[in-house]
């Protein structure tokens, strides 16, 4: 399609339209089926059990096709694929290798990257924040989690025990498909932290960045610094608007943020929110500091669901374990902090103070501080041992040296006052 546009070859675009028209229109939801082989699946066992990497790669290409041709049919097709895939997304934003298998079984980081790209491209096309919600879950959790602590990407660093229970996988870093797609994802995410259209500047993700929005850097310069401070996110933007016109800015208010507060140069602003974004006007020829702060919310994720499917039926299966999410972060118990705890299935009580989780910003001494999220939640395992839960992104900073190094789903979850 891109070649068709650049080379003036309409037959290339026609071929892309033919692919989009003939892609299977159905996706098999998670089931209780476990297959020994890799996807693509045996259609006699799982109809529409497509290889997720291949299928989602085509899906985000369909969004490109919709934007290039202006044909709304293709955009509707991509949106349907997004909606149908939601039931397959794991609690940490991961994706399996094949549609239709047991929920949270046999991951594929490349498929997760294709999912992120589909979400971000759908946001580009529609401006709908629900696509950012879905992308963010993977970006802040599984994307860094499957990055090895020495660099590169490793499929065995994931929620599925199928991979990391095999010692032969430990320390194996893919230098083929996963690594190439992981780098692509980071680059694509970087271009979507802040975006601009003809109407406004849009701040989409709570990640540090600095951008110049004209080649010479003289029109608009924006930097964002994100702090996870105990029970709050503080998102600070420094904006230099050197244009002769006022600059509208939209800042995303995510689903997990409570009691959002907006300050402009230290002065509280009335929150003017539309379609999931706070609206602010930066005067012409001015420099302003904008701060958005939000309380983080503790959410129990039911069995066979993710934060994206709380209002949908659970995936098929008999698994009864639950998970926890704090703000945008999937939480894990990291065994190597507590080598004395060897039990496989753990009940968990999250301790609270005046109804709020007890949070620490002191990272373990053995972790590299650079890139770590200073956010640990106090909990109690099996009614006896006090431990700290960490965002799964933090284990990027440490090697896995034991069988069953982490737990992200728990036998039972309670919130203990």
- Dihedral of CA atoms 382, 383, 384, 389 in degrees, nearest 10, equals 70
2-192 is classed CATH 3.40.718.10? no
pLDDT, tens digit, for every residue of 282-321?
999 999 999 999 999 999 999 999 999 999 999 998 889 9
Q: Is the pLDDT of residue 139 over 80?
A: yes
Same CATH topology for 2-192 and 195-296: the answer is no
pLDDT, tens digit, for every residue of 146-171?
888 777 887 777 777 666 667 777 77
Report the share of the chain in percent with pLDDT over 90.
54
pLDDT, tens digit, for every residue of 309-366?
999 999 998 889 999 999 999 999 988 888 888 888 899 999 999 888 999 988 888 7
CATH of the domain spanning 195-296: 2.60.40.1180
Q: Is the pLDDT of residue 129 over 80?
A: yes
Domain ranges, ordered by start, for the chain: 2-192, 195-296, 320-416
Question: What Å distances lie between residue 166 and 163, 251, 269, 351, CA to CA?
Answer: 6, 44, 54, 34
Report the share of the chain in percent with pLDDT over 70.
93
Q: For 248, list phi and psi in degrees, rounded to 5.
A: -75, 135
Which residue(s) pair with 248 in the sheet? Answer: 281
pLDDT at 140: 95
Lowest mean pLDDT among 10-24, 39-53, 116-130, 189-203: 39-53
Lowest mean pLDDT among 71-80, 101-110, 230-239: 101-110
Query: In which band, very low, low, confident or very high, does the pLDDT at 263 lie, cut at 50, 70 and 90?
Result: very high
pLDDT at 7: 67
Which residue(s) pair with 252 in the sheet? Answer: 277
- Name the nearest CA neighbour of 374 among 234, 227, 236: 227
């Amino acid at each position: 399609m891109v070649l068709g546009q650049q080379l003036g070859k309409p037959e290339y675009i026609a071929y892309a339209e033919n692919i989009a028209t003939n892609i299977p229109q159905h996706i098999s939801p998670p089931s209780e089926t476990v297959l020994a082989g890799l996807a693509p699946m045996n259609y006699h066992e799982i109809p529409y059990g497509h290889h997720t990497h291949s299928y989602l790669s085509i899906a985000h290409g369909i969004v490109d096709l919709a934007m290039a041709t202006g044909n709304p049919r293709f955009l509707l097709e991509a949106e349907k694929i997004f909606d149908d895939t939601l039931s397959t997304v794991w609690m940490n934003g991961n994706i399996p290798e094949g549609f239709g298998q047991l929920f949270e079984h046999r991951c594929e980081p490349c498929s997760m990257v294709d999912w992120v790209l589909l979400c971000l491209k759908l946001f580009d096309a529609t401006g709908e924040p629900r696509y950012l919600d879905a992308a963010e879950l993977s970006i802040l959790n599984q994307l860094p989690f499957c990055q090895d602590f020495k660099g590169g990407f490793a499929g065995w660093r994931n929620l599925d025990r199928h991979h990391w229970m095999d010692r032969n996988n430990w320390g194996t870093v893919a230098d083929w498909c996963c690594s190439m797609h992981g780098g692509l994802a980071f680059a694509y995410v970087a271009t979507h932290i802040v975006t601009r259209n003809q109407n406004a500047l849009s701040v989409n993700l709570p990640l540090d960045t600095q951008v110049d929005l004209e080649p010479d850097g003289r029109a608009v310069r924006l930097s964002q610094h994100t702090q996870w401070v105990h029970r709050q996110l503080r998102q600070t933007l420094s904006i230099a608007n050197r244009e002769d016109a006022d600059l509208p800015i939209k800042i995303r208010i995510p689903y997990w943020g409570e009691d959002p507060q907006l300050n402009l140069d230290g002065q509280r602003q009335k929150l003017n929110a539309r379609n999931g974004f706070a609206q602010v006007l930066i005067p012409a020829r001015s420099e302003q500091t904008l701060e958005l702060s939000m309380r983080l919310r503790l959410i129990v994720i039911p069995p066979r669901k993710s934060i994206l499917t709380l209002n949908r039926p659970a995936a098929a299966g008999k698994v009864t374990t639950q998970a926890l999410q704090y703000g945008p972060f999937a939480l894990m118990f990291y065994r190597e902090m507590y080598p004395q705890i060897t039990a496989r299935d753990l009940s968990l009580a999250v301790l609270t103070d005046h109804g709020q989780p007890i949070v620490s910003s002191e990272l373990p001494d053995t972790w590299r501080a650079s890139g770590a999220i200073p956010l640990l939640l106090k909990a109690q395992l099996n009614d006896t041992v006090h431990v700290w839960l960490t965002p799964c992104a933090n284990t990027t900073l440490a090697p896995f040296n034991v069988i069953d190094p982490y737990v992200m789903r728990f036998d039972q979850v309670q919130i203990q006052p």
